[in-house]
Structure 1
Amino acid sequence: MRAPAQTFDAILFDLGGVLIELVGVEQMLRWSPALGSTDELWRRWLHSPAVRSFETGGCDRESFAAGVIDEFDLPVDPATFLRAFTHWPRTLFPGATALLASLAPRYRLASVSNTNDLHWERFEREWSLPACFHDNFPSYRVGKLKPDAEYFIHVLDALELPAGRVLFVDDNRLNVESAARLGIVARRVPNFAALRSTLDALGLLGRDTNGELR
C-alpha cells in the first residue's frame, strides 16, 4: 500500500543534471585531471571566484572564461572554453516537460538554478523551459548562488511560503544540505530517473486508472 502524499505547496527544481543533461563535468575532468573526482570539481566550482561572479551577474563572459582557465589551470584559450561551455547543457531529459506539465496544476513550480546569460538564453530559445515554471530564480538575475543560505531565503521570501511546505530537488549534495538546514524538504536526485522515483516515493506523481505513472 502506498504511503499518503506528503503535503507541499511548491517544488523547487534544479535544472542541470535534474531536468537537463549536462556534459560539462566530463569536459572539466578531461581538461583538469588533477581534480580527481566529480565531488571535488563541484566543491571548487561552487566556490570559484570567477564562477560566482559570472553566475551572479557580476562580470562579462570573457572575464569569466579567463578566470576559470586561470583557477583550474585549463589547457585551452578563452574562446575555446566559451564555445564548449555554451553547450555544456546538452538537452532536456526525455519526459522533463511532460513531468512539469503534470505537476503544474497541483503545485507551484519554480526553477532554482546557478546559471548565466549564456545558458539561460539557450533554455528560453531552444526549449522554452522557463515557461514550464510559475517562477524562475536564475542566479545571474537574483544576484545570489546556491548553496548560500541567502539564495534559498530569497526564494522562500519571494514565494511567501514556510520552508517546511517546500520540496527542493537537486543533484548536488552541498546544495541539498544547505537547503535542508533552513528547514526545506530537500532531496538529492542525481538524474531525471532518480527525480521521478523520488517524486513517486513522496506520493506526488499522478497515476492513471491502471495505476501507471503519468
Structure 2
Amino acid sequence: MNKYKVIVFDLGGVLLDISGVEDILGWLDNKIELADFWYLWLHCPAVKQFESGEISEVEFVNSVLSHFKLPIDYTTFEQSYRYWIKGIFSGRLALLEQLKADYQLACLTNTNLMHWPEIVATGILNPLDKHYVSFEMGCVKPDKEIYQKMLDDLDVPAEQVLFIDDNQVNVDTAKALGIDAYRTVGHQALLDLFQQLKII
C-alpha cells in the first residue's frame, strides 16, 4: 500500500526550468549567492504582493527595481522577467504520466500574471489533477496559509502528502504542518529521491 495519496510539486526548479535569475545576479555584480538571493527574493514585499495577486505588474516591476537597487530600466527588467520560464525539464512529462497510475498529482507554486501564460503554454499542467497557484489563492509560500488551503482542498491527511520544492524555506513550512517534504535541485536529484522513497 502506498504511503502517499498525493504528490505535490513546486513548478519552477522542479518541473520547469527557470533561468532568468542569473540576469538579476549579474545586474548585482554577482555579489549575492544564488541561495541567498532566493531567500531575499521570497521575502521581498513586492514579490509576495505580486504573487498573491495584490499589486499590478507595473507596481511590481518598479518596486523590485527599487528594493534590489537594480541599475537597469523598467523595460530591461520586464523583458527579462517575463520570460524566466524556459520550458519543461527533460523527462518530466513522462515521469508524471508514470506516477498518475498510482497517485493524485498536484502543483503548489508561487507565480503571477506575467509568468502564468508561459507556464500554461508549456503543457506541464496537463498531467496534474490539481493546481494550487499563489496569485489565485491570495497567499504565497512559505506562509502556512497556502499549505493549509491546499490540504483543506485535497481533504487528505498531511502525512499522506509528499511535497517537493527546490527552496528549503518552503520545505520547512510544509514539514511543520506534517507534510512529508523534501528539497531537490536538478533533474537527477528528483529521480534519486523517488527511488529512495520507492515511488518509482
**Which bin holds the TM-score, normalised by the shorter protein?**
over 0.9
Q: Which has the larger radius of gyration?
A: 1
Instruction: Write the mapping of 1:114-125 to structure 2, written as runs, cut at 5 A.
Output: 114-125=110-121
Task: Write out per-residue CA displacement over residues 50-88 of structure 1, whole angstroms, 9 at most, x where no aligned residue.
Answer: 101110111111111000000001111112111100111
Distance 1:11 1:35 in 2: 36
Aligned to 2:51: 55
Aligned to 1:167: 162
Task: Write out per-residue CA displacement over residues 26-64 of structure 1, whole angstroms, 9 at most, x where no aligned residue.
Answer: 222111237521122111111111101110111111111
Root mean square deviation, CA, Å? 1.3
The reply on whether 1:197 has 2:192 as its aligned counterpart is: yes
The reply on whether 1:11 has 2:12 as its aligned counterpart is: no
Identity of aligned residues (%): 37
Distance 2:140 2:151 in 1: 14
- Normalised by the length of structure 2, the TM-score is 0.96
SS in 2 for 1:117: coil
Distance 1:83 1:129 in 2: 23
Q: Which amino acid aligns with 2:139?
A: K
Q: Which amino acid aligns with 1:26?
A: E
Picking from 9, 21, 30, the partner of 1:25 is 21
Aligned to 2:61: 65
Distance 2:21 2:119 in 1: 19
Q: Give the gaps of 5 or more residues in structure 1.
A: 206-214
The reply on whether 1:184 has 2:155 as its aligned counterpart is: no
Aligned to 1:211: none
Distance 2:117 2:52 in 1: 15
Distance 1:77 1:172 in 2: 29
SS in 1 for 2:86: strand
Instruction: Write the mapping of 1:72-151 to structure 2, written as runs, cut at 5 A.
Output: 72-125=68-121, 127-151=122-146
